[in-house]
Amino acid sequence: MNTLAFASLLLPAFGSAVTFAGGRDLRHVKFWSTAPIALALVGTILVAISHGTGGTSTETYTIGTAGEFHIEIGTRVSGLAALTAVLVAAVALCVQSYSTSYLGGEPRYASYAALISLFTAAMLTVVYAADLIVLLIGWEVMGACSYFLIGHYWEREIARAASIKAFLMTVAGDVPFLFGLIALGVQAGSFQVHDVIASADGNALSHPGWIAALLLCGVLGKSAQFPLHSWLPDAMAGPTPISALIHAATMVAAGIYLVALLYPVFVLAPDVLVVMAVIAAITMLGAALCALAQTDVKRILAYSTVSQLAYMLGGLAVNGRSQAVYLLIVHGFFKALLFLAAGVVIHRVGSNELSRMGGLRFRMPVAYTTMTIGLLALAGVPPLSGFFGKEAVLGAAYNATGEFAVPGRIVLVAGLITAGVTAAYALRLWLGMFHGPFPDAPHEHEERIEAPQTELIPLVLLAIPAALLGVVALFGNGFSQVVGGASGESGSLLGAFAVDLWPGGMTTLLSLLFVLGGAGLVYLFWRRDPKADPAVPLLGSLRGLLLDGFRFDALIGLAVVRPVRAAAKLVAFLDENVVDAYVRGSGVGARGLGTVLRRLQTGSVQFYLTCLFLGVLVMAAVYAYVGTVS
Amino acid sequence: MATHSYLSPTGVEIAFVLVGLVVLGSGLLVVTLKNLVHAALWLIVCMGGIGIEYLLLGAEMVAWIQVLIYGGAVIVLFLFGLMLTKAPIGRTEELDVAHRWPAVLVGLGAAGTLVTVTVQAYQHTWFEPRDALALGSSEGLGTALFHYWVLPFEALSVLLLAALVGAIALSRARREDDGPDELPGEAQA
Amino acid sequence: MHALYPLILGALLFSLGLYGVLARRSAIAVLMALELLLNAVTLNLVAYGSILRDRYGTGQVFTLFIITVAAAETGLGLAIVLLLYRQRATADLGVQRELAEPVESFGADELAATDDYGVLR
């Protein structure tokens, strides 16, 4: 089983290499970008099936030693890893087959497809890694791939800026993350995930709070949480399938996955959990409000991703590990679906702007249907999967007791309000895209402008789990057992109690009320004027602020960019006037010395000979003296 | 022979020191006189003195060769050289280099070092010059030369031949039209 | 005879020759000083031959060799001096300065004419 997992993560890497090597032959690229990932998907499914419920299985090979630590590579399959891997492989396969027609004609399609394959391999490495170092390698390779993929349209200034921003912001989190991993490995005496979790369970870490805080920084960067969130909306400059891959399944999910993986460490640090809850609350509500104000379809979806990731982080903050992982998987499917469907629409309409769309429900029925399913799931309407995911998290927050009580209250309040806002922006998006009048050609409602089969089939395939994954909740605590209980696989610290995902009465009632309220408000404003954006009257004067994402980038510019620029100026000044002075000084000094020494070159042979004999004399005298003394 | 002492020098030693003083004095004049011809003539005195020293050391054959070659041939060569280069016959102020002190320093330093080292090494050593008489005679030296040193002797004869050829080649008067200073094209034009 | 008498005479004669080689400007005077050097060496050779009781006559035989070589050297050296005189019309070593660099020195104005990397502006 571990070998199969290893093969599954090597297959996309192999496919990537072959795609890179194969040049621009379109059929070659299409085959080698999809087939290995399809095989990897089969592999991950087989791993998940053979893994069954509970327990972990680790298999490593020692490849060398560094100091007192053995470097071992290998795979570690747990319920969490198996399920996440299936999600990653499935979304990656959909994205790759979708891209064959979406980007198939572009000149840089080959490198793009190869990078996606590499990205997938890196994410599978993170998921299946048996030790933290290998995990970190996958983690950073993903960061590099996302840099390249976001900057795919590098001719455009905005894409270049977005890719650099994404890279810098995630790396800003990765620096403390690296220190956290090292501290964790040193304190646990091993970098093996297995040993680390065991020592965390045994409460053997001396400073779990610091470690958890450092790790949390990396998670915030990778999963785009406040205050390192603003790269994600900008990352929409990349191609739409990339948005689906980054925002749904891989990069942003890696942060949540890491917290879930090392959950025993975080449980030891209740203060960090409170911080996590506060951050989650701020992010989910703020991002949802921003999504409500945006006019760009992809930015709406991006902010909704940030908001949903905050839900997951909130779930983790209130001891809802299984619930958060459940939401992660469900969200992965329906958000990939949303991005790919939005991509279909954007491609046909030729614009990202919501105001340029409308009335598309007859012209693009497949996109309409699948997107409806996705948006309903996002809004949390029963019985779609998103409803169960959100309710599970809210239920966990409601039921949180003991040291989780404080974060529970925070997450519960923010989550309920966010549920209403989420429903509002989902409905606004749905109405704006598919209903109302089409701005440019109001009389062409009957003509279909459907996308090719290769783009539609992934939509349909993704719509099925997005709609039906809620069925998991029917099995009660089954999912929880597969994922490994409340606090990691062994879970001995808090007792391995499995959690029921079935929504509780109180929170469901409240959240449904909020959903109805939010959606109703938007609907009322929309009814008044179907052509106009319902967000304009709804948000009023706040709209401009939200459109800029609370002017967060300006704040960063003030707090980070300008001091850094000033420091850079200072360094440049020091370099020119202090460091270079020594360099210039050495040149001038050597020249001066040369001028002095040149005066010795008189050209008189006898003078040279005198110098020579003087030297010989000194040497002979010294030699004679030394010989006499000794 | 255990009665060696500085305080009771033998007759040979006294003669050696006296002649040595003459040698050193004439040598000093050779390197300091402003008049080149006088310097060359004092060189004869110096060479002859050294020949006498050879005799006192028991090297009879070497002494005669020294007088013959140095006192005769080499000095004549020098005088010819002086004449051919139209060197000033009288006193010349520009005979020495402008700054003499480095040379004096080197000379005194060399003398000091050599004398110190020699004195430290040989202050308790005596030898009998008469023991070398047998070897120093023409018969003894000839036997040693052709008994043990034939090969270097032959090599030396080749060296002398090469020096002869070299001297002729160097001093041969160059004709005006085959000097390396002129280009062939210029010569034709 | 005490060994120091001939050895010290040789050492002092050598020093005199050294001074002459370094201090004299006329090429012929330098050659004369060279002869003093060679004679100092041969005197030492003969003295050592007696002091060390050499059976093979090494000291004296090599004195003969050196006298021969010195004669050849004087002949060649005078030929060179003659050549020098013929080309330069002087046998003064003090004015033979071709070994010096043609440029006298690197002036401050020349330094100022180059940028920081030594390239002429």
Per-residue pLDDT tens over the stretch A145-157: 888 888 888 888 8
Between A530 and B13, residue with greater pLDDT: B13
Residue A571 is predicted with a pLDDT of 92
SS3 B8: coil
Range of the domain at A564: 560-629
For residue B22, CA distances in Å to A275, B28, B70, B94, B108 come to 108, 10, 17, 27, 19
Give the pLDDT band (50/70/90) at residue B83: confident
In a domain, A121, yes or no: no
Domain count, chain A: 2
Q: Cβ(A377)–Cβ(A386) under 8 Å?
A: yes
DSSP codes joined into one string, A128-157? HBSBHHHHHHHHHHHHHHHHHHHTSSTTSH
Q: Is the pLDDT of residue B16 over 80?
A: yes
Query: A153 is written with which tokens?
Result: 């349209």
Statement to judge: residues A479 and A606 lie in one domain: no
Tell me the residue type at B38: H
The reply to whether A247 and A347 lie within a common domain is yes
pLDDT at A555: 83
Rounded distance, CA A246 to CA A432, Å? 25
Residues B87 and B142 in one domain: no
Residues B67 and B143 in one domain: no
Task: Show which of residues 83-122 on chain B sit within 8 Å of chain A, judged by CB atoms.
Answer: 97, 102-103, 105-106, 109-110, 113, 116-117, 120
The DSSP call for residue B137 is: S
A592: closest CA of chain B, how far (Å): 26
* Block residue for tokens 């298999």: A59
Start-to-end CA distance of chain C, whole Å, equals 75
Q: Which of A239, A243, A261, A240 is nearest to A251 (CA)?
A: A243
Of A598, A606, A608, the CB nearest to C106: A598
Contact C75, B76 (CB under 8 A): no
Q: Same domain, yes or no, for A572 and A513?
A: no
The answer to whether residues A260 and A310 belong to one domain is: yes
Higher pLDDT, B77 or A248: B77
Residue B39 lies in a domain: yes
pLDDT tens-digit map of A526-537 = 887 777 777 777
Query: Looking at the domain assignment, is residue A44 inside a domain?
Result: no
Contact residues on chain C for A601, CB-CB shorter than 8 A: 99-101
Instruction: For residue C108, give the nearest of A580, A585, A588, A598 by alpha carbon.
Output: A588
Shared domain check, B28 and B87? yes
Same domain flag for A595 and A532: no
- Kindly report the CATH number assigned to the domain that includes residue B58: 1.20.120.1200
DSSP string computed for A403-458: GGHHHHHHHHHHHHHHHHHHHHHHHHHHHHHHSS--SS-TT-TTS--PPPHHHHHH
Same domain for B78 and B142, yes or no, is no
How far is residue B82's CA from residue A58's CA, in Å, rounded to a whole number? Answer: 103
Mean pLDDT of A81-110: 83
Q: A503 with A624, same domain?
A: no
Instruction: Indicate the burial class of A553 (C-beta count within 10 angstroms; 0-12, 13-18, 19 or more).
Output: middle
Cα-flanking dihedrals φ and ψ of residue B91, to 5°? -70, 140
Residue at A22 is within a domain = no
| C111–A587 C-beta distance less than 8 A | no
With tokens 């809210």, the residue in question is A394
Does residue A336 sit within a domain? yes
Q: Tell me: the pLDDT tens digits for A272-321?
A: 888 888 998 888 888 888 888 888 888 888 888 888 888 888 888 888 78
Whether the per-residue pLDDT at A385 is higher than 60: the answer is yes
Place of tokens 């790396």: A171
- The interface residues of chain A toward chain C in range 601-620, judged by CB-CB distance below 8 A, are 601-606, 608-610, 613
Hey, are the CB atoms on B109 and A617 less than 8 Å from each other?
yes
**Domain for residue B119, yes or no?**
no
Region at B49 (left for phi over 0; alpha for psi -120 to 50; beta for the rest): alpha
Window from A395-409, A583-597, B148-162 with minimum mean pLDDT? A395-409
Q: What band does B185 get if pLDDT is binned at 50, 70 and 90? A: very low
Q: What residues 4-63 of chain C have any CB closer than 8 A to a CB of chain A? A: 18, 21-23, 25
Query: Is the same domain home to B16 and B84?
Result: yes
Q: Is residue A9 part of a domain?
A: no
B19 in contact with C, Cβ within 8 Å: no
The rounded radius of gyration (Å) of the Cα atoms in chain C is 23
Give the chain B residue whose CA is nearest to the CA of A612. B106
Q: Does the distance separating the beta carbons of C93 and A604 come in below 8 Å?
A: yes
Looking only at the bridges linking them, the beta strands covering A56-66 and A69-78 are antiparallel
Last residue within a domain, chosen from A555, A582, A614: A555
CA–CA gap between residue A209 and residue A275 (Å, rounded)? 11
B77 part of contact set with chain C, CB < 8 Å = yes
Cα within 13 Å of Cα(B171), Cβ side: 17
* Pairwise CA distance, residues A295 & C47, whole Å: 113
Which residues span the domain enclosing B54?
8-93
| A503 and A570 assigned to the same domain | no
Same domain, B86 and B12: yes
Question: Which region among A472-476, A570-574, A596-600 has the lowest average model confidence (pLDDT)?
Answer: A472-476
Of A168-177, A312-321, A482-491, the poorest mean pLDDT is in: A482-491
Residue for token pair 């020294």: B66
What pLDDT is attached to residue B87?
66
Which two structure tokens, joined as six digits, stand for A416?
């309920």
In this prediction, residues C34-40 reach a mean pLDDT of 93
**Residue A525 tokens, joined:** 């404003």
Q: Is residue A343 situated within a structural domain?
A: yes
Is residue B1 classed as helix, strand or coil in its secondary structure?
A: coil
Instruction: Inform me whether the pLDDT recorded for A347 exceeds 70.
Output: yes
- Count of the separate structural domains present in chain B: 2
| Chains in touch with C (≥3 Cβ pairs < 8 A) | A, B
If we measure between CA atoms, which residue out of A313, A291, A287 comes closest to residue A300? Answer: A291
Q: Using an 8 Å Cβ cutoff, are A354 and A533 in contact?
A: yes
- In chain C, the domains with their CATH numbers are 4-100 (1.10.287.3510)
A338 and A411 together in one domain: yes
Contacts of B97 in chain A (CB under 8 A): 604, 606
DSSP for A370-393?
HHHHHHHHHHT-TTSHHHHHHHHH
Co-location of B22 and B80 in the same domain: yes
Three-state DSSP state, A78: strand
Within this chain, do residues B13 and B73 fall inside the same structural domain, yes or no?
yes
* A325 and A415 both lie in a single domain: yes
Q: Does residue A217 carry a pLDDT above 80?
A: yes
Q: What's the distance, CA B189 to chain centroid? A: 51
Length of chain A: 630
Cβ contact B105–A614 (<8 Å): yes
Chain C residues 24-83 with CB within 8 Å of chain B: 24-29, 31-33, 35-36, 39, 42-43, 46-47, 49-51, 53-54, 56-57, 60-61, 63-65, 67-76, 78-83
Give residues with Cβ within 8 angstroms of A430, minimum separation 6.
Answer: A371, A372, A375
| Contact with chain C for residue A595, Cβ under 8 A | yes
Å between C56 CA and nearest CA of chain A: 30
Looking at chain C, which residue has its C-alpha nearest residue A610? C22
CB atoms closer than 10 angstroms to residue A176: 18
Last residue of a domain, which of A526, A555, A584?
Answer: A555
Please answer yes or no on whether B81 and C50 come within 8 Å at the CB atom.
no
The pLDDT assigned to A491 comes to: 40
Q: With contacts defined as CB-CB under 8 Å, which chain A residues touch B117?
A: 624
- Alpha carbon of residue A494 to chain centroid: 29
CA neighbor of A44 nearest in space, from A151, A114, A125, A117: A125
pLDDT at C46: 92
| pLDDT (tens digit per residue) in A5-46 | 888 888 888 888 888 787 667 777 888 888 888 888 888 888
pLDDT of residue B49 exceeding 90, the answer is: yes
Q: A579 CB near a chain C CB, below 8 Å? A: no
Residues of B in contact with A613 (CB under 8 A): 106, 110
Two tokens, residue B188: 């034709």
In a domain, A312, yes or no: yes
Q: Do B163 and C51 touch (CB under 8 A)?
A: no
- β-bridge mates for residue A77, sequence order: A57
The minimal CB distance from A591 to the residues C98, C99, C111 is found for C111
- Is C113 at the interface with chain B, CB within 8 A? no
Partners of C114 in beta bridges: C120
A459/A567 same-domain check = no
**For chain C, how many residues are written?**
121
A395, A503 contact by CB (below 8 A): yes
Domain annotation covers residue A91: no
Q: In this complex, how many residue pairs, one in chain A and one in chain C, have their CB atoms less than 8 Å apart?
A: 45
The share of chain A scoring above pLDDT 90, in percent, equals: 3
**Integer angstrom CA distances of residue B141 from A446, B133, B135:** 134, 10, 6
Cα distances (Å, whole numbers) of residue C72 to A532, C29, C75? 118, 17, 5
Neighbours of B, requiring at least 3 CB pairs below 8 Å, are A, C
Residues of A in contact with B98 (CB under 8 A): none
The verdict on whether omega for the bond into residue A530 sits within 30 degrees of 0, i.e. cis, is no
Range 91-120 of C in CB contact (< 8 A) with A: 93-94, 96-101, 105-106, 111, 116-118
How does DSSP classify residue A245?
I
B27–C17 CB contact, under 8 Å: yes
Give the residue with greater pLDDT, C115 vs C95. C95
Q: Are B120 and A628 in contact (CB < 8 Å)?
A: yes
Task: Give the pLDDT of residue B92.
Answer: 66
Determine the Cα–Cα distance for residues A327 and A388; give it in Å rounded to an integer.
8
Q: Which residue in C21, C96, C105 is closest to A598 by CB distance?
A: C105
Q: Is residue B121 part of a domain?
A: no
Q: Which of residues 584-613 of A touch B (CB under 8 A)?
A: 604, 606-607, 610, 613
Residues A410 and A299 in one domain: yes
**Is B127 inside any structural domain?**
no
Looking at residue C41, its pLDDT comes to: 94
∠ CA A274-A275-A278, rounded to 5°: 85
The answer to whether A604 contacts C18, with C-beta atoms less than 8 Å apart, is: no
Beta carbons of A390 and A259 less than 8 angstroms apart: no
| A522 and A574 in a common domain | no
Least confident of A121-130, A131-140, A487-496: A487-496
A629 chain-B contacts, CB cut-off 8 A: none
Please say if the pLDDT value at position A144 is more than 60.
yes
Q: How many Å is the Cα radius of gyration of chain B?
A: 23
Report yes or no: A444 and A438 within 8 Å, Cβ to Cβ.
yes
Residue burial B78-96, b: 16+ Cβ < 10 Å; e: rest:
bbebbebbebbeeebeebb
Q: For residue A614, give the nearest of B106, B117, B120 by CB distance.
A: B106
pLDDT for B56-66, tens place per residue? 988 889 999 99
Question: How many contacts, defined by CB atoms under 8 Å, are there between B and C?
Answer: 251
Exposure on the CB side of residue B3, measured as CA atoms within 13 A: 3
